[in-house]
Amino acid sequence: DSLKKAMERIQHLFGWFVLSAKCTQEQADAAMKRISTTTDPEFAAKDADIINESIPENPDLKAKVFSQFNKLCPKRTIFTTNTSTFLPSMIAEATGRSDKFLALHFHDVKVTNVVDIMPHPGTSKEAIQLVKDFALKTGQLPIMMEKEHSGYVFNYMLGALFTAALSLKTKNVASIEDIDRAWMGVTHMLAGPFALMDGIGLDTMLSVTEYLAEATNDKYLRKHAQFIRGYVEKGHLGKKTKKGFYDYPNPAFTQPEFLKGIE
């Protein structure tokens, strides 16, 4: 069922690409035919050149999956993680091929072709170059990290925005709507920080915030996590559940009156 839904999402994405003139219908159809799915790890690993992991943000779970695939993949296979938060060095040893392991982090492909490439100190230069070549050949714009840094480049800057927004809300400085209005009104962006968090998923936001709060023992981050948890425990995970900080599919921040200050 999950694989069926994944293919439906990919099909929908290609439909958007066609409507946006990013590709033709023929190109979209051809690309869809090249995509296959499986629930069999052995089949997935067979003859793989690159593995990219995009499972939940849990370092122990990621390490377990890579350890499993290390036993199944050819020796040449490069392992990459799409983690938004963690450092490759945290699980490099568990992969069983630390010299062929690094982060290859994709952003929202509907918005940008930027990808972050972040090796850890033990990643080989050959693996880094191969992943960079792969990114370029697939039409991506690689941002090459010279050292490990949580959040890469853009996400680190975005994280500062989220932290500021959550701080303002949990201190009762302003409402969610007015915090987003302030950002949208000044920057002329189409969404504010809380709308962006809805798009990411509040379950993901909670996982990341809880991890950072624990790692830094930061009482303010703990308060932010507690605030987000209130939504997650109700099943309000954002856009994907049609309810988060806003209600979907027609959230208030997309309405013309939102920037007029009309509730």
pLDDT tens for each residue of 210-263: 988 998 899 999 999 999 999 999 999 999 999 999 999 999 999 999 998 665
Contact 251, 259 (CB under 8 A): no
Q: Is the dihedral of CA 51, 55, 58, 60 positive or negative?
A: negative
Phi, psi of 240 (to 5 degrees): -70, -20
Percent of all residues in the chain with a pLDDT value above 70, rounded to a whole number: 99
- Contact status, residue 246 vs residue 193, Cβ threshold 8 Å: no
Top-level class of domain 154-260: mainly alpha
pTM across the whole model = 0.80
CATH number assigned to the domain with residue range 40-144, chosen from the 4 options 3.40.50.300, 3.40.640.10, 3.40.50.720, 3.40.50.2300: 3.40.50.720
What is the pairing mode between strands 101-106 and 114-119? Answer: antiparallel
Choose among 208, 226, 221: nearest CA to 150.
208
pLDDT at 1: 81
pLDDT digits (tens, 9 = 90+) for 149-191: 988 999 899 999 999 999 999 999 999 999 999 999 999 999 9
Give CA–CA dist 153/74, Å, rounded. Answer: 32
